[in-house]
Amino acid sequence: MQGFLEPESVALIGVTRQSGAGSYNNLEVMLRYGYKGRIYVVHPQASEICGFETYASINQVPEVPDLAVISIGRDRVLPVFQECVQKGVQNVLIISQGFADADKEGERLQKELSRIARDNKVRILGPNTMGTLNAFFGFSTAFVDIPRDPSPPPLTLVVQSGIFLAGFEFFTHRMGKAIDLGNCCDLDFVDVLNFLEADPQTEIIVLHMEGLSRGRDFLQTASRIIQKKPILVLKTGRSSEGAKAALSHSGSMVGEDGVFQQAFDKAGVIRVNNMIELLAASKAFLNYKPMQGPRIAVITVAGATGVMSADACGDYGLELAPFPQRIEDELKNHRMPWFRLHNPVDIWPIGMVSGSFSEVFKNAARQLIQEDKVDAILGIIPVFGSSMHSDLDMVSCVQDIEVYNHK
Amino acid sequence: MQGFLEPESVALIGVTRQSGAGSYNNLEVMLRYGYKGRIYVVHPQASEICGFETYASINQVPEVPDLAVISIGRDRVLPVFQECVQKGVQNVLIISQGFADADKEGERLQKELSRIARDNKVRILGPNTMGTLNAFFGFSTAFVDIPRDPSPPPLTLVVQSGIFLAGFEFFTHRMGKAIDLGNCCDLDFVDVLNFLEADPQTEIIVLHMEGLSRGRDFLQTASRIIQKKPILVLKTGRSSEGAKAALSHSGSMVGEDGVFQQAFDKAGVIRVNNMIELLAASKAFLNYKPMQGPRIAVITVAGATGVMSADACGDYGLELAPFPQRIEDELKNHRMPWFRLHNPVDIWPIGMVSGSFSEVFKNAARQLIQEDKVDAILGIIPVFGSSMHSDLDMVSCVQDIEVYNHK
């Protein structure tokens, strides 16, 4: 995998002669992303692309590059791949579509690719992939611009669609590495997990999975890795309609969803059901310490959201921690002697009188986090549009749930 | 209800002498929101507040105002309310907390308020409420600033917390009217629904409900109204923890959630499970025509999101419409003869070649919406960070699902 994520040299086969908006020129994108390695552009007709002299074939490239990236019409992929093999290239990334994702002929071509790779011990990523991205190293094979995170987080995405690299704002801005497996004709989830197990830049693994061919190996590998690194999975193609769609997207045979569920449960992989949950869970693992138990204390400025979070605790297997009486004295509002605090802790009446919501919030959080029976604090802070609430906005300006005790 | 939403004159009892940020001065907020009616400020000590001369008691106000708004310590509410009754005020809004939301004494005080209201045919909204908001008329009793929608939508919120008026961005910017029932000591969901049935400015009714006292009447009223206007409900306090929290928030007796579910189903009320669903459903009813059937066509620029939306169709009882073959010819990509379209319709390969995603998207949508077997179109458009995709961003810059055929 190293060659796919940190190549010292790369051959680009099939770069477009156009550049700028709408050209999907992966050479241009690669340079803009900050790749500092040696690039060889292979093109049979053009003599120069984006200031790079070209080579008519991989054969004429003056070294054996760590990686070849193929992005040409499907019918020409097989011979070009064979040239790469003859050249001695070990890692080949095939962006081209039209294989198991398309028709019988595509399926045949893909099988042929797999066979040649296996016979020659050459690894293929793809086909039908946007490739890889490594914000630590400054390398991206994507054909669309992706902003490079200046301080990459230890989160690695392993997906079956380039949309995760380019189209979901959170991931686009907060991923260290990404690997789009595409149709998985050779490298698959098991291979990549085995690599990530020892990767020091990967502490959280996020999977987007449409299909899986080596179920038993996946189970074994994932069970081992989650002892060290959490694995989140968004398994799509759950429904029969979804399964059909997955077949024509990544050529994946989906199988029974119940089987996947059992495997995930057994392996200790955390399954999320949709993008909203995936983003929330990824954000949580990136930013917060794991909870030591299920007991939560909720601080809110509105009783109604306290009730909603109590419901959510029920939905997600969390418990409301018992409310510590000493906090009641600490947070007392002497103008409302009848006012009782509970968990969820509604700080509105206190904050309104004290004049500083952020101080009341921080005080409550400080007190609660010291309790043995409190495993985490949930703060619910609404977005107030008005300048009258600048103090509340100081705490945080998100209509979201944040745990006070950051990593 | 009219007096609570469109009063020609209002008495404010208990306005603070402070003003500006952190003062929660409801007079100041009311003026800023654009109220043009007559305001009488009642204060026993101050002679002037915000440029308004004050009256020592409601008794001295020179007319019988359409509405009195009480915002004083709970122990003084009862006598002040009685003065309002003696004055002949028909509508009294009690912002003060500390009633059934608090303790035994609060419960007793609230019962007394109810009794006096009933005996004198005076209506109370509250206590423990932020009151009402009417963007059409320019009236708000809230003690925090809420931006006034310049072209109010026909959506009315009936809630048990002021947080809906002030703290949820979507509603704050997109509500025509809002009524916070608070503890429901007199006016309740049934009263308000009966009023909204004939209100020409209300076409969509959104309920946030913690408890309900007149279940049978609610069922009857709601069943009748949903023939004309959709009713959405977020019923909170679903769990036992949530039920406890609801009791100390709005003093609501929650009861069995299954009973509510049956009632909602029977009445045809649309129940949502959380704020995310509530916002999505409200947005949908505000912006889109109701679907005539469950069949949907999905247009996406990524196969992976097509698979996810197929799963979501399964989750929400929608069906993928059969893909019309004539569209295939219409959208053909001659450089990828092997490429087959399905529903979900992945326009990526076509858009990439044609150079204009927005044209391909619009063409696909135009073709699909003409199909008898297509009841709605779902467009999934990712957020691309890059200027290389300005054409895609033209279609829409939301990571969201939008139906093409707007109202």
Would you say residue B212 has pLDDT above 80? yes
The mean pLDDT value for B133-141 works out to 97
Residues of B in contact with A241 (CB under 8 A): 310-311, 313-314, 319-320
Residue A28 has pLDDT above 70, yes or no: yes
**CA distance, residue B163 to nearest chain A CA (Å):** 6
Per-residue model confidence (pLDDT) at position B399: 36
Selected for mutation to probe chain A from B206, B311, B397, B400 (highest A CB count within 10 Å) is: B311
**Does B167 contact A303 at a Cβ distance shorter than 8 Å?**
no
Handedness of CA A86, A88, A91, A93 (dihedral sign): negative
Tens of pLDDT along B283-292?
999 988 888 9
Q: How confident is the model over A20-37, as a mean pLDDT?
A: 91
Q: How far apart are CA A344 and CA A342, in angstroms?
A: 6
Q: How far is the alpha carbon of B321 from chain A, nearest alpha carbon, in Å? A: 11
Is the minimum CB–CB distance between A110 and chain B shorter than 8 Å? no
Check B210 against A304: CB less than 8 A apart. Answer: yes
Which residues 258-297 of A are in CB contact (within 8 Å) with B?
Answer: 274-276
* pLDDT tens readout for residues A307-319: 999 999 988 899 9
> Residue B403: what pLDDT?
41
Closest Cα partner for A384 from B29, B264, B383?
B29
B355 vs A406: CA distance, rounded Å: 45
Range list of β-strands (E), B175-242: 177-180, 204-209, 231-235
- Average pLDDT estimate for A271-275: 92
Cα-based angle B277, A250, A218 (whole degrees, multiple of 5): 85
For A237, the closest of B101, B106, B307 (CB atoms) is B307
**Is residue B225 predicted with pLDDT exceeding 50?**
yes
Rounded CA-CA distance A210/A127 in Å is 15
Query: In angstroms, rounded to a whole number, what is the distance separating the alpha carbons of residues A116 and B347?
Result: 32
Other Cβ atoms less than 10 A from the Cβ of A195: the count is 18
Contacting residues of A for B169, CB less than 8 Å apart: 383, 385, 399
In the chain, the amino acid numbered A390 is S
Contacting residues of B for A320, CB less than 8 Å apart: 241
Q: Which residues pair with B125 in a beta bridge?
A: B93
- Dihedral class, residue B23 (left if φ above 0, else alpha if ψ from -120 to 50, else beta): alpha
* Per-residue model confidence (pLDDT) at position A366: 85
Whether A386 has its CB under 8 Å from any CB of chain B: the answer is yes
**φ and ψ of A73, to 5 deg:** -55, 145
Q: For residue A44, what pLDDT band results from cuts at 50, 70 and 90?
A: very high
What are the φ and ψ backbone dihedral angles of B157, each rounded to 5 degrees?
Answer: -95, 135
Which of the two residues, B358 and A238, has the higher pLDDT score?
A: A238
pLDDT of residue B406: 43
Tell me which range, A166-175, A187-196, A348-357, B205-214, is most confidently predicted by mean pLDDT.
A187-196
Q: Do B169 and A106 touch (CB under 8 A)?
A: no
**Contacts (Cβ under 8 Å, ≥6 apart) of A85:** A92, A116, A120, A122
Q: Which residues on chain A are in Cβ contact (under 8 Å) with B319?
A: 241
Q: What is the b/e burial string over A329-363, where b = at least 16 CB atoms within 10 angstroms of the residue's CB? A: eebebeebebbebbbbbbbbbbbbeeebbbebbeb
For residue B202, list its beta bridge partners: none
The pLDDT mean for chain A works out to 89
- Contact (CB<8Å) B240/A314: yes
Among B296, B308, B383, B395, the residue to mutate for chain A (most A Cβ within 10 A): B308
- pLDDT tens for residues A102-130? 999 999 999 999 999 999 999 999 999 99
Q: Which of A208, A239, A342 shows the shortest C-beta gap to B304?
A: A208
- B-facing residues of A in 58-77 (CB < 8 A) are 73-74
Q: 3-class DSSP state for residue A133?
A: strand
pLDDT band at A332 (very low <50, low <70, confident <90, very high): confident
What pLDDT shows up at residue A111? 98
Residue B58 is classified by DSSP as G
Q: Cis bond leading into B344, ω under 30°? A: yes
Chain B contact for A256, CB < 8 A? no
- In this predicted structure, what is the pLDDT of residue A253? 67
How far apart CA B167 and CA B196 sit, in angstroms, is 23
Mean pLDDT, residues A354-374 taken together: 84
Measure the CA–CA gap between B381 and B302, rounded to whole angstroms. 9
Higher pLDDT, B167 or A8: A8
Beta strand A400-403 pairing with A376-381: antiparallel
A314/B236 CB distance under 8 A: no
How does pLDDT run across A129-161, given as a tens digit for each residue?
999 999 999 999 999 888 898 999 999 999 999
More confident residue, A303 or B6: B6
The answer on pLDDT for A84 being more than 90 is yes
Cβ atoms of residues B137 and B107 within 8 Å? no
* C-alpha radius of gyration, chain B, whole number: 26
B390: left (phi over 0), alpha (psi -120 to 50) or beta: alpha
Task: Give the closest of A168, A239, A248 to B399, CB-based.
Answer: A168
Quote the pLDDT of residue A147. Answer: 87
> A52-61 pLDDT, tens per residue?
999 999 999 9
For B76-165, strand residue ranges (E) read: 91-94, 123-125, 132-134, 139-140, 155-159
Does A344 sit within 8 Å of B245, measured CB to CB? yes
Q: Do B237 and A340 touch (CB under 8 A)?
A: no
Chain A residues with CB under 8 Å of B245 CB are 303, 306-307, 310, 342, 344
| A173 burial level (CB within 10 Å; 0-12, 13-18, 19+) | middle
Position B167 pLDDT exceeds 80: no
Helix (H) or strand (E) holding A380: strand A376-381
Phi, psi (degrees; rounded to nearest 5) at B141: -95, 5
> What is the average pLDDT across A207-224?
94
Which DSSP letter does residue B37 get? S
E strand residue ranges, B301-375: 319-320, 345-346
- Using one digit for the tens of pLDDT, what is the confidence trace for B69-109? 999 999 999 999 999 999 999 999 999 999 999 999 999 99
> CA of A397, closest CA in chain B: separation in Å?
11
Q: What distance in Å separates the CA atoms of residue B367 and residue B404, rounded to the nearest whole number? A: 12
Q: Are B385 and A146 in contact (CB < 8 Å)? A: yes
Give the CA diameter of chain B: 86
Within its chain, how far is the Cα of A375 from the centroid? 26
The mean pLDDT value of chain B amounts to 89
Question: CA–CA separation, B351 vs B357, rounded Å?
Answer: 4
ipTM: 0.89
Smallest Cα distance from B113 to chain A, Å: 18
Q: How far apart are the first and last CA of chain B?
A: 30
Cβ atoms of residues A60 and A164 within 8 Å: no
User: In this complex, do A239 and B315 lie within 8 Å of one another by their Cβ atoms?
Assistant: yes
Listed in order, strand segments (DSSP E) in B242-283 are: 270-272
Interface of A with B in 25-54 (CB under 8 A): none
* Phi, then psi, of B8 in degrees rounded to 5: -80, -25
The tens digit of pLDDT for each residue in B311-340 reads 999 888 999 999 998 888 877 777 788 888
For residue B239, the distance in angstroms to the closest alpha carbon of chain A comes to 5
Chain centroid to Cα A402, Å, comes to: 20
Strands A38-42 and A52-55, bridge-based pairing: parallel
For B368-395, give one letter per residue: b (16+ CB within 10 A) or e.
beebeebbbbbbbbbbbbbebbebbbeb
pLDDT at residue B196, as a whole number:
98
Q: Residue A78: which of A108, A45, A120, A39 has the closest Cα? A: A108
d(CA A131, CA A127): 9
pLDDT surpasses 50 at A238? yes
Q: Looking at residue A388, what is its pLDDT?
A: 46
DSSP classification of residue B338:
T
Nearest to B314 among A169, A239, A339 (CB): A239
Query: According to the model, what pLDDT value does residue A381 have?
Result: 74
Number of residues assigned to chain A: 407
Cβ proximity of A12 and A67 under 8 Å: no
Residue-wise pLDDT tens digits, B334-388: 778 888 889 999 988 888 777 777 778 888 888 898 899 999 988 887 655 454 4
Which region among A85-94, A343-352, A391-400, B243-252 has the lowest average model confidence (pLDDT)? A391-400
| CB contact (8 A) between residue A169 and residue B97 | no
Q: Are A140 and A175 in contact (CB under 8 A)?
A: no
In this complex, which of A208, A335, A383 lies closest to B169 when CB atoms are compared?
A383
Strands A155-159 and A204-209, by their bridges, are: parallel
| Nearest residue to A165 (alpha-carbon basis) of A184, A179, A151, A181 | A179
Contact between chains at A399 and B97 (C-beta distance less than 8 A): no
- Span A219-242, average pLDDT: 94
Tell me which residue of A109, A108, A49 sits closest to A77, measured CA to CA. A109
- The shortest C-alpha distance from B85 to chain A (Å) reads 26
Whether A387 contacts chain B with CB within 8 A: yes
Residue B390 has pLDDT above 70, yes or no: no
Which residues from chain A sit within 8 angstroms of residue B98, using beta carbons?
A: 336, 338-339
Assess A112–B contact: CB distance below 8 Å, yes or no: no
Q: Count of A–B CB contacts within 8 Å?
A: 247
Chain A residues within 8 A of B149 when measuring between CB atoms: none
pLDDT for position A405 = 41
Chain B contact for A385 (CB, 8 A cutoff)? yes
Looking at beta carbons, which residues of chain A come within 8 Å of B308? Answer: 236, 242, 274-275
* Interatomic CA distance for residues A252 and A183, integer angstroms: 7
B253 shares contact with chain A (CB less than 8 Å): no
Show the tokens assigned to A242.
């979804």
**Cα(B38)–Cα(B35) distance, rounded to whole angstroms?**
9
Q: Which residue has the tokens 């029932």?
A: B181
- Give the pTM: 0.87
The crossing angle, in degrees rounded to 10, of helices B104-120 and B74-87 is 0
Q: A248 and B168 in contact by Cβ < 8 A?
A: no
Portion 171-230 of A in contact with B at CB < 8 A: 172-173, 208, 210
Residues 6 or more apart in contact with residue A207 via CB below 8 angstroms: A157, A158, A159, A189, A231, A232, A233, A234, A269
- Averaged over B261-271, what is the pLDDT? 95
Q: Which residues in A lie closer than 8 A to residue B339 (C-beta atoms)? A: 97-98, 102
Q: What is the pLDDT of residue A103?
A: 92
CB A185, CB A212: distance < 8 Å: no
The reported pLDDT for the residue numbered B369 is: 86
What does each C-alpha distance from B319 to A210, B301, B302, B343 come to in angstroms? 20, 20, 19, 10
Cβ <8 Å between B304 and A249: yes
CB contact under 8 A, A249 and B340: no
Q: In this complex, which of A245, A310, A315 lies closest to B344 when CB atoms are compared? A: A245
d(CA B188, CA A196): 58
A357 → chain B, closest CA residue: B22
Neighbours of A404 (CB within 10 A): 20
CA distance A245 to chain B (A): 5
Picking from A367-376, B1-10, B54-63, B153-162, which range would have the lowest pLDDT averaged per residue? A367-376
